[in-house]
Amino acid sequence: MPPPSPLLPMLAAMLGITTFAVMDGMMKVATLALGAYGAMFWRNLAGSLIMLPIWLRRGNGWPSPALMKLHLKRSAVVAVLAVLFFYGLARTPIGEAMALTFISPLIALYLASWMLGETVSRRAVIGSVIGLGGVAVIALGKFSGDYTADSIQGLVAILVSAALYAWNLVLQREQAQLACPEEIAFFQTLMVFCLLGIGAWWFAPPPALGDWWMLIGSAVLSLVSLILLSWAYSRAEAQVLVPLEYTAFIWAALFGWLVFSEEVTWRTLIGVTLIVAGCLLASRRNEPHLEPV
């Protein structure tokens, strides 16, 4: 029997990536109003309340202790990387920020080798060098003479977030094979909310009434993206789906241009081309396989 067609998972992943890119734009607005920490805290409260009845209706019962540990581990990683990303996003054009995150698949390759014992090929090493060259091209624009302390802090925050997102990719593949999409979306939003609640007294003052539309809207988009991507990654090889992540740059750049009047520079386009080329080269294999992402 021939393997199932990856068309539907690919379409689901592309839609999930698109909704996630639009959510990034809404979260940039929310972060400018509330700060990165506050925006993430209140967004995940809204997401938890939205997902609770959906998860209860699913009726799969309480996860096992081992699965709860995996949910908690990924939620902790997501909480830190998301706050760092949105902190950087408030100080960096959306398209440029998204381009910098494209180093994540390259880092995930080496994490998979370390954590899962996979062999890193020569092609992967060459791809890594090309991808890091793209990051350098974009980063050099920050040191062109007209940079600010905020822009440098934003650059560093996004690069650290991208490294953590690579770990998140490794955990995502494992999680998608053990839990349904609704469970993943509910427990991730709930656990991130609880983890950020530790510092909410200091960093997350209550939003104004007019800010809630951004928080609820971004929560809905985040949940839709989580469900679609979890569904896709449980049904198709990651080598088929990971390259679709690069389409996020198109939507991020378009949203930044339309809403924030952000210019997409030639330096950014050259840098993102190198990053994508490096990632595609690093992820190629001679035989079908399942990537551990």
Q: Give the confidence band of 166 by pLDDT, cuts at 50, 70, 90.
A: confident
The 3-state DSSP composition of the chain as helix, strand, coil percent (nearest 5) reads 80, 0, 20
Neighbouring C-beta atoms of residue 79, cutoff 10 Å: 23
- Span 29-63, pLDDT tens digits: 999 999 999 999 999 999 999 999 999 988 778 99
For residues 172-194, give the mean pLDDT: 91
- Span 78-96, pLDDT tens digits: 999 999 999 999 888 887 7
Element (H, E) at 14: helix 7-34
The structure tokens 């925006």 sit at: 39
Q: Where are the alpha helices (DSSP H) in 35-146?
A: 36-58, 65-89, 94-100, 104-116, 122-140
* This model's pTM is above 0.75: yes
Residue 292 pLDDT > 50, yes or no?
no
Cβ atoms of 214 and 30 within 8 Å: the answer is yes
- Span 16-38, pLDDT tens digits: 988 988 898 899 999 999 999 99
- Helix and strand counts by DSSP (H, E) for the chain: 13, 0
- Span 131-149, pLDDT tens digits: 777 777 776 765 555 567 7
Q: Which of 43-47, 96-100, 107-111 has the highest mean pLDDT?
A: 43-47
Determine the pLDDT at residue 76.
97
Mean pLDDT, the chain, whole residue set: 82
Determine the pLDDT at residue 129.
74
What are the sequence ranges of the domains in the chain? 7-283
Q: Give the confidence band of 282 by pLDDT, cuts at 50, 70, 90.
A: low
Determine the pLDDT at residue 136.
75
Q: What single letter denotes the amino acid at residue 146?
A: D
